[in-house]
Amino acid sequence: MINRTPFSDGVVAFDKELFTYLNGFGNEKWDWFWLLVTEQKNWLPLFLLLFYLLYKYFGFKKGLVLIVLIALFITFSDQLVNLIKHYYMRLRPCSDPDLELSIRAVLQRSSYSFVSGHATTSFAMSTFFILLLKNNFKYIRFLLIWPILFAYSRVYLGVHFPLDIFTGMYIGIIEGFLFYNLTKLIFNTKWIAKITQ
């Protein structure tokens, strides 16, 4: 088992201490809430609202193209996360023998920890939607509540370290900007302009 990160031993040690501190705030009375937050399917009403906003502000044809692009972007983000996970092969907190006696692991996952797919993809999509809709829907910035809660749930439940979350957040925000600018380029091409008229 490789179990590494791109960070120094000192940073990793601090990361584990910070995780133990944050994870220690857990309480059985709140476990149900964070289990609810961490499940992607429970955010379906939010996703449907975002798709509705695409339809409202871009119309059916452009909205459909955007949904296809978003699906491709999510696939890219997920695959990038998987590549990073399998390169570093960092153990999750719930699987780390150094921590097993000192943490609350509400969930058990056997896959790798670095980086967090939840943080990466949720911040990527939130950044993308905020950039896309900021001139049409003034409340779109509140969308950031979703990835913040989504990402923190992974620390609370014992399946990700803070570094997994913050690195995923950083990668996700960069992806969001890249996806947005790529979308603008695609919509400026003649064939997209033609089929979305």
Average pLDDT estimate for 112-119: 91
Instruction: Quick: pLDDT tens for 76-106.
Output: 999 999 999 999 888 888 888 888 777 887 7
Given a cut of 60, is residue 1 above it in pLDDT?
no
What domain range includes position 76?
59-100+114-197
Q: Residues 50-80, buried b or exposed e (16+ Cβ, 10 A)?
A: beebbeeebeeebbbbbeebbeebbeebeeb
The 3-state DSSP class for residue 134 equals coil
- The whole model's pTM is what? 0.89
Q: What's the total number of domains in the chain? A: 1
Task: Identify whether 109 is part of a domain.
Answer: no
Q: How confident is the model at residue 62 (pLDDT cuts 50, 70, 90)?
A: confident
pLDDT band, residue 193 (cuts 50/70/90): low
pLDDT (mean) for 169-196: 86
CA gap 74, 79 in Å, rounded = 9
In a domain, 92, yes or no: yes
- Distance between first and last Cα of the chain: 54
CA distance 62 to 69: 10
Would the pLDDT of 75 be above 80? yes
SS3 92: coil
Is residue 42 a part of any domain in this protein? no
Question: Which residues, at least 6 apart from 110, have a Cβ–Cβ distance to it below 8 Å?
Answer: 92, 95
Q: Tell me whether residue 46 is in a domain.
A: no
Specify which of 53-62, 112-121, 173-182, 186-195 reaches the highest per-range mean pLDDT. 173-182
Amino acid 197: pLDDT: 63
Percent of the chain with pLDDT over 90: 57
Residue 161 lies in a domain: yes
Instruction: Please report the pLDDT score of residue 146 as a whole number.
Output: 95
pLDDT at 195: 64
The model's pLDDT over 133-155, given as tens digits with 9 standing for 90+, comes to 999 998 999 999 999 999 999 99
Residue located via tokens 């459909």? 64
